[in-house]
Structure 1
Amino acid sequence: MTETATDDRRVPAAVADGAGVESRIDDGDTDATDGLEYEVVTTPALVIGAGAAGARVAISLAEAGLEPLVIGKRDHGDAHTTWAAGGVNAALGSLDPEDDWTIHAADTLTEGHHLNDPEAVELVAEHMPDRIRELDAWGTPFDRTDDGRINQRYFGAQSYRRTCFVGDRTGEAMLETLIETARELEIPHRENAMITRLLSDGERVSGAVGFDMETGGGLLFRSDHVVLAAGGFSAVYDRHSSRDEENNGDAQALALEAGARLLDCEFVQFHPTGMVGDRYGEEWDGRLVTEAVRGEGGRFYNAEDERFMERYSPDQMELDARDVVARAIAREVREGRGTDNGGVYLDITHRDAEYVRDRLPSMVERFESLGVDITEEPMEIAPTAHYTMGGVDIDFQTGETGVDGLYAVGESVAGVHGANRLGGNSLAETVAIGKLVGEHVADAVANDDRDPEVSDDQRALAEREFAALEALAAADGDVTPQELLEDLGDLLWEHAGILRDEAGLREGLAKLAALRERTADLRVDGDLTSRSFEYAVDLSVSLTVAELLLRAALERTESRGAHYRADHDDEESDWRVNLVLSVEEGELALRRRDVGEPSKPVQEALKEGYELDYHHLE
């Protein structure tokens, strides 16, 4: 592939962050700097992130006879995977036997506007039937057809019914299965640990540094093989479907600081159906209403009772691509046809009430708790930041990042989804690529890597980080990290949201610079165990990824997938390139890289022009 330099800018400063879960401590060591005490933990392979991707990597490592350590920021099993509700894609052909993996790949490339890494797409599509059968054998309770096959539903922009599901709690059920499998394999995990820096000289990684969120003690993890599986960065937006303390860009900031490349950070998916806070309460604002509602026949209406998708997509209607549907809703609201609360209506009342309760039990239960019976009245929804297609640049056969010993997987990376993710593919990527990455890392672990020594230089680097964390916790200015995070979220929603243009992006960068200056007056209320300190770490990470997002969005002067430029509203053939971001001599460099071509079988599937026939649902 060719790379052409387009621009160089100063890279923003960052204190990065990561993930957590219980392991071996090297000789039970507890060491101390002049201040912060810290543990030293050694492991042959460290997996940062305890969701489906991290769990599947760890299972492959354990099956190869290794004892990896998985760490996460929350309690074990409390990962963002559980919020992926509607389903997971695999061309099983349970209901549509003409479906196959090449059509799945073609749909993914089409939805991604052909910016996807074709090898990554084909690996996911080809491997997923086996991964679903594996999950089924391990105990995932997939819904079944009357004759006992794994049932499948439509998701947006899918040519066939390809999305396997467990009601509307698929991600939760998958993660439960993976965690139970990990427990059977006795894979060590450590909860409530946040990673703030990788031990790296820019060419090789030798571990990670962070702190215990419950005790406030320092953590030095020594490993020659580190896997980033810490998610994306959609939570930097004001309205988003993640919890506030997740998907802040941990993995991307850690990787960039360690010397890895990032890819396509301008592409953020705005899911069409987030709950409307002015209707349901601030704590629910942006919370995802699963795509399964539309997959089961849900319809959109504006405040004038028009089924408005007829204007925008008469063939695919509500099941067109997420970017198309989100822009349609944004336009309805902007042109005055939205609700008083700034949304539209999602209605599934035409379906039999018992069918809705059977297929969408979590949605029924959630809205009932808010006094809404979705079998009898519509839901009020509006778009929400949901998923980031951009991330770490990897080799998908291996997970390698270009920095020796550093690997990445899941929403941490870019490549599978291109300019817009096909619904149901996020869970698919976690297990399909997670297995491959785990197998490669297992092969790469040498005997000397199984119990690595901790050098004086590594301790010194860790101790400098611990001192920086203590200094951050002692910040006693006038502005809280929560305030700045809220302002950052508003900034990005206004200037890098669903509709973008050059003037707005430049204004967003200027506001970002001003916001960054305000961090000099930061106040942290509490020690390293406080939520205020956690938000302070998140703030540094979020400022970094926000700048990457804004600069990449300004650079791409076209509209493609989830990146819509009102001042360049056409998709341009000469912009069918990936934007590669890296740090070179202290400067942020943006380069263009050509996109590869799919295999002959997938090219044939693309030529056939398969397309969803929405009216099967009518």
Structure 2
Amino acid sequence: MLDVIIIGSGGAGLSAALSAKDLTNKVLIISKTYPTHSQTVQAQGGINCVLDEENDSIENHINDTYNSSKYISNKNTIKTMCKNAKETIQWLDKLGVPFSKDEKGNIKQRYFGGTKNKRTCYSSDYTGLKIIHTLYDNCIKNDIKFLHEHILIDLIIEDNKYKGVKIYDLENGKIKNIYSKSLIIATGGYGNVYSKHTTNSISTTGDGLAIAYRNGIKLSNLEFIQFHPTALKGTNTLISESARAEGAYLVDKNEKRFVDELSTRDEVARAIKEKLLKDEDVYLDMRHINIDILKEKMPQEIRLIKDILNIDVSKDLIPITPAVHYTMGGILVDVSCETSIKNIYACGEVAQNNTHGANRLGGNSLLEIITFGKIAGKEAANKSKQIVENRAKEIEDDIQFIEELLTKEINKSIYEIKNELSTYMFKNTGLFRTKNDLIKMLDIIKTFEKEYKNSGIKNKDLNYNKNLLEYLEIGNIILLSKLTVISALKREESRGSHYRIDFKNSSEKYKKISTMQLINGEDKHNFEDAI
């Protein structure tokens, strides 16, 4: 029997694997795709850490994070992240992450939104990609085993105790039951609830969240969706906050600045959206910045802007729009990354560990996934040593539901359902929300649930059926859309990324995290203290 199974091979999953491998050889990573396809790759701008302690402090980092969260995070969890930041950076540096460095060999840092200090370490504008490559190389070097293109179907739980996972092998269409003493869920966020309006990869479909929820595991803060202020208009291609960190302006059609570019992302995104709702285009202006600096610090984005829109950043304004970039909600975990079911851990964007609250501070996502990934790996490996091997009752590899699915008629296309859902979610549960729109959205989702249930897929093969994978993903997206809308409807205030036109102020009554849990077949919502 394995000691630790990790579902997901992004930054959190790979960090957890390396940490667990220090304590046990019985570690397996299971992933529906490959590490270089993970959402971590999209984190371009950098990773936060206080290195210049003469002009900055860990306490400042803690306070900036807490203030950005709009006071519904836990300072002890934030302290864990911020106090471990230097160790995290040193660990990554030692593993071989090619951070940008000055002539003395010191890691360079840049400004990011929501802070007055240069605190963000970076590797040009490829930070997440470089981290993933380095972690993956080290996992291979440490002989950590991978099962790529294997999809989590369900958890095996007996008497509220974790036993193993049910996995769908995409290559041959078979179901496998794999048992372990502990599990780490690191499957990423749920940005594709807004699939037509997100910078996320197509694989970011909230699978781990949805499967955890169906097994009674508590979720939290699903209403908090971070819209990144600057995606290329018409493409959802991310233009990193590093552009504004290097001095880029946000300007209107008259080329006038209208917002503090380095304010928190929720404030900047709403200011841009207000312009767009008035049919006024908004632009990123980098014309005044030395092109040699841009080529050194933002080569990827300059190339993308040129390739996609044929725009020369030294001469032209860049049309931009907000797009969903990060989901603050997730599986509720404690500071050790354990979920509401013992021996199941979660880390990375799939988890809600009371760090980001209502609004994530730019540069904190990479720090959180690496720091808490390492913690999850250590905790799960240590816990496995205390568990006597107690194999679950033998369960047959069940392929019946797959075979039943393949016999269903197509009816409405699942891709139509996905696209329509995204359009309605962006309209009714986007940057600006109202009670009427949210109630309307719940009715729309009920229709999609029925249509999905009655829909099949065209490809009837068992071998490498991506059509089948997408069917499963869309089912997860529909569920998480519903839970997101319920959470947004219940929070009758505006806080961070959640903005209610009908409740424009924050309320002490809602200075709490929200939770969703499936209890006896019913969706139960609650508000709790962030502990």
- Candidates 174, 199, 202, aligned match of 1:241: 199
CA displacement at 1:224 relative to structure 2: 2.3
What does residue 298 of structure 1 align with?
A: 248
Structure 2 counterparts to residues 311-330 of structure 1, below 5 A: 317-330=260-273
Counterpart AA for 1:323: D
SS at match of 1:565: coil
**Aligned residues of 1:203 and 1:259 also touching (Cα < 8 A):** no
**Aligned residues of 2:452 and 2:475 also touching (Cα < 8 A):** no
Show CA shifts across 1:359-396 (max 9, x none): 00101121222322223222211000111111111111
Show CA shifts across 1:228-255 (max 9, x none): 00011011103001122x2211121121
Is 1:436 the counterpart of 2:394 in the alignment? no
What does residue 204 of structure 1 align with?
A: 161
- Separation in 2 of the partners of 1:89 and 1:500? 31
What does residue 447 of structure 2 align with?
A: 514
Show CA shifts across 1:307-365 (max 9, x none): 121xxxxxxx1010000000000001112322xxxxx2111111111111100010112
SS at match of 1:500: coil
**Aligned residues of 2:158 and 2:392 also touching (Cα < 8 A):** no
Unmatched runs of 5 consecutive residues or more in structure 1? 1-41, 278-284, 310-316, 339-343, 597-618
Show CA shifts across 1:110-160 (max 9, x none): 011011122221111110111101111111111112332111000111221
SS at match of 2:3: coil
SS at match of 2:84: helix
Structure 2 counterparts to residues 18-57 of structure 1, below 5 A: 42-57=1-16
Structure 2 counterparts to residues 396-545 of structure 1, below 5 A: 396=335, 398-414=336-352, 415-446=354-385, 453=391, 455-456=393-394, 459-460=395-396, 462-463=397-398, 466-526=399-459, 527-528=461-462, 529-545=464-480
SS at match of 1:208: strand
Show CA shifts across 1:231-286 (max 9, x none): 11011103001122x22111211211222111111100011011212xxxxxxx21
Is 1:174 the counterpart of 2:131 in the alignment? yes
- Separation in 2 of the partners of 1:572 and 1:532? 45
SS at match of 1:498: coil
- Candidates 520, 525, 529, aligned match of 1:585: 520
**Aligned residues of 1:299 and 1:347 also touching (Cα < 8 A):** yes
Counterpart AA for 2:12: A
SS at match of 1:319: coil
Structure 2 counterparts to residues 4-153 of structure 1, below 5 A: 42-93=1-52, 97-153=54-110
Counterpart AA for 2:351: V
Counterpart AA for 1:575: Y
**Aligned residues of 2:150 and 2:170 also touching (Cα < 8 A):** yes
**Aligned residues of 2:73 and 2:357 also touching (Cα < 8 A):** yes
SS at match of 2:181: coil
CA displacement at 1:447 relative to structure 2: 7.4
**Aligned residues of 1:232 and 1:391 also touching (Cα < 8 A):** yes
**Aligned residues of 1:304 and 1:337 also touching (Cα < 8 A):** no
What does residue 594 of structure 1 align with?
A: 529
Counterpart AA for 2:199: S
Counterpart AA for 1:356: L
Is 1:374 the counterpart of 2:313 in the alignment? yes
Counterpart AA for 1:243: S
Counterparts in 2 of 1:374 and 1:69: CA distance versus 1, 3 Å: same
CA displacement at 1:98 relative to structure 2: 2.3
What does residue 551 of structure 1 align with?
A: 486
Is 1:183 the counterpart of 2:140 in the alignment? yes
- Separation in 2 of the partners of 1:332 and 1:536? 37
Aligned residues with identical type, % of pairs: 28
**Aligned residues of 1:112 and 1:417 also touching (Cα < 8 A):** yes
- Separation in 1 of the partners of 2:206 and 2:529? 25
SS at match of 1:324: helix
What does residue 345 of structure 1 align with?
A: 283
Counterparts in 2 of 1:202 and 1:373: CA distance versus 1, 3 Å: farther
- Separation in 2 of the partners of 1:227 and 1:363? 34
SS at match of 2:304: helix
Show CA shifts across 1:482-534 (max 9, x none): 11111111111011000000000000001111111112331302134223212
Is 1:390 the counterpart of 2:348 in the alignment? no
Show CA shifts across 1:80-116 (max 9, x none): 11111110001111xx732121111110010110111
What does residue 20 of structure 1 align with?
A: none
What does residue 599 of structure 1 align with?
A: none
SS at match of 2:156: strand
Counterpart AA for 1:351: I
Is 1:560 the counterpart of 2:495 in the alignment? yes
CA displacement at 1:48 relative to structure 2: 0.2
**Aligned residues of 1:48 and 1:229 also touching (Cα < 8 A):** yes
Show CA shifts across 1:401-456 (max 9, x none): 12122110010111210000001111000111111111111111137667x64532
**Aligned residues of 1:199 and 1:258 also touching (Cα < 8 A):** no
What does residue 193 of structure 1 align with?
A: 150
- Separation in 1 of the partners of 2:116 and 2:92? 24
**Aligned residues of 2:493 and 2:504 also touching (Cα < 8 A):** yes
- Separation in 1 of the partners of 2:247 and 2:387? 56
- Separation in 1 of the partners of 2:158 and 2:205? 24
Counterparts in 2 of 1:424 and 1:468: CA distance versus 1, 3 Å: same
- Separation in 1 of the partners of 2:387 and 2:365? 35
TM-score (norm 1): 0.83
What does residue 286 of structure 1 align with?
A: 236
SS at match of 1:446: helix
- Separation in 1 of the partners of 2:496 and 2:123? 29
- Separation in 2 of the partners of 1:202 and 1:395? 22
- Identify which range, 467-476 or 55-64, moves more after superposition: 467-476
- Separation in 1 of the partners of 2:466 and 2:314? 39
Show CA shifts across 1:174-203 (max 9, x none): 111111121121111111111111112461
CA displacement at 1:474 relative to structure 2: 2.8
Counterparts in 2 of 1:202 and 1:105: CA distance versus 1, 3 Å: farther
Counterparts in 2 of 1:292 and 1:214: CA distance versus 1, 3 Å: same
Runs (4+) of structure 1 moved beyond 4 Å? Answer: 447-450
SS at match of 2:381: helix
CA displacement at 1:212 relative to structure 2: 1.5
- Separation in 1 of the partners of 2:388 and 2:475? 32
**Aligned residues of 1:356 and 1:375 also touching (Cα < 8 A):** no
SS at match of 1:426: helix
- Separation in 2 of the partners of 1:363 and 1:429? 24
**Aligned residues of 2:182 and 2:381 also touching (Cα < 8 A):** no
- Separation in 2 of the partners of 1:193 and 1:566? 43
